[in-house]
Amino acid sequence: MATQRKSIFITGAASGMGRETARLFAAKGWFVGAHDVNEAGLKDLQAELGAEACLIRRLDVTDREDYRAALDAFAPAAGGRLDILFNNAGIGRGGRFDKQPWEDIVAVVQVNLMGVLIGIYEAVPLLKATPNSLCFTTSSSSATFGMAGIAVYSATKHAVKGLTEALSVEFKAIGVRVADVLPGLIDTPILPPGAVAAAPKEGMWRAMPPSSVAQVVWEAYQSDKLHWYVPEEIAELDKAATLAPEAMREQMAQNSLFGDPA
């Protein structure tokens, strides 16, 4: 039982950003609900953090009934409170849009968008019951401007960013804060092999450790800031894409590997 400890419910907690967030919040004395489809990773995490600090459960975020059951199991263990819902689970499948398997397109939409919608919808009662609660979601730097090669992934992250903005207004009436993080290149298993080694050493596309996102989740709870960028330079990309989308389109096209229609 969490008794009076603050609590965080994390999806995609078995590895990468979710795992680092679980570690950080457990170290801060919070009760952690760690959820993922990777049961082996969850068991390893619980062994590291201790069962008194961490409740684990397999969760398919695309299954509304499963999500509801996970929250039902979490609530009594967390003393009926949910200080942060961290919608972090996501998958990345890319390629040229007209060459992608339809099943991959659907899977990306189901996990990256529907999983977020389900999670927020089902968690609202717990968030409302917890003073100063935060609904926090992982968006992406690809939500600044649609990115070739990951068009559907990018579209889902644009949707998450827009949802965050809308709910940040709506949820004021029920006392729930809403924010998101737009990470750039984060060294996690979602990246293709060799991506980190090939990344520049400086600038907005440098590889960042997953712990940098975990730190942002912690800072977001102490703040009323809406969008968080990792690294912070991604914010400049967001501004540029908004002010001059045509110029951004041409710049992206020049750097794209998807110009050949064959």
Residue % of the chain over a pLDDT of 90: 83
pLDDT for the residue 261:
46
Is the pLDDT score of 260 beyond 70?
Answer: no
Assigned architecture for domain 7-255: 3-Layer(aba) Sandwich (3.40)
Beta strands 7-11 and 54-58: pairing type?
unpaired
Query: Residue 262's pLDDT is what?
Result: 45
Q: What is the pLDDT of residue 254?
A: 85
Amino acid 203: pLDDT: 76
Residue 96 reports pLDDT greater than 70: yes
Residue 191: pLDDT band with limits 50, 70, 90: low
Query: Structural domain boundaries of the chain?
Result: 7-255
CA distance 249 to 70: 42
Confidence bin at 252 (pLDDT 50/70/90): confident
More confidently predicted of 262 and 178: 178
- In the predicted model, what is the mean pLDDT of residues 105-110? 98
pLDDT tens track for 212-240: 999 999 999 999 999 999 999 999 999 99
- pLDDT confidence of residue 243: 94
Please, what is the average pLDDT of the chain? 93
Q: pLDDT higher for 199 or 39?
A: 39
User: So what's the pLDDT on residue 193?
Assistant: 65
Determine which of 61-65, 81-85, 196-200 has the lowest per-residue pLDDT on average.
Answer: 196-200
- Structure confidence by residue, pLDDT tens digits, 111-162: 999 999 999 999 999 999 999 999 999 999 999 999 999 999 999 999 999 9
Residue 188 pLDDT exceeds 90: no
The reported pTM is 0.93
Q: Known catalytic residues?
A: 153
Residue 201: which pLDDT band, with cuts at 50, 70 and 90?
confident
